[in-house]
Amino acid sequence: MNPMNDHVQDPARLPKPRRDYKDTLFRLLFQDRDRLLSLYNAVNGTSYDSPEDLTVVTLENAVYMNMKNDVAFLLDNRLSLYEHQSTWNPNMPLRDLFYVSRTYQGLVKDETLYSSKRLRLPAPHFLVFYNGTEEREERSILKLSDSFEYAGTQKEEPNLELKVLVLNINQGNNKELLEVCRTLREYCLLYTSDAADEA
């Protein structure tokens, strides 16, 4: 037997498949400012045409609690945090809370929190693009307060809330969005084709 081909015969020596490659592809695609601006315009019904107006603030290679976010950017006093999920994750509000806290820390690092002057922050908007196999609504909202536990049976008004809009981008959902943003549409077609190949 040729020792050079031993790895072909021994599956244990083969590299393990990466389950996160679709998330990685999403990040790679939307690192491009033109594509990211197109996605932003499609989601918000806007018509910005200058990618230079975007300030990318993604937590690059900064792993926090074994997680990193996909795309975060500033435009027109808005902080947008976009995530892609190929599996349903009800913990996205908590994850986004960690992401936005880290991002705000970076944005005010040269300011003092003890000043009598109020610090101004860009308003956050949290969005998940979902294309997993689990059946989900076309649009849904995940809330941080759904994870809170209360003493007794009486629910209190939450002192802290964070809402995440989840857009289902599987075939037949959010057609207008996919028609407007070509990159997202092509990404979904590739994912659908890839899923069919795996079946």
Q: Is the pLDDT of residue 7 over 70?
A: no
- The pair of structure tokens assigned to 128 is 């998940």
Write down the pLDDT at residue 71. Answer: 94
Q: In 3D, which of 18, 2, 19, 22 has the Cα closest to residue 10? A: 2
Q: In 3D, which of 164, 160, 163 has the Cα closest to residue 83? A: 164
Write down the pLDDT at residue 97. Answer: 96
Beta-strand relationship, 139-143 and 55-56:
unpaired
- The pair of structure tokens assigned to 148 is 């809170």
Q: Is the pLDDT of residue 46 over 90?
A: yes
Write down the pLDDT at residue 4. Answer: 44
Write down the pLDDT at residue 153. Answer: 67
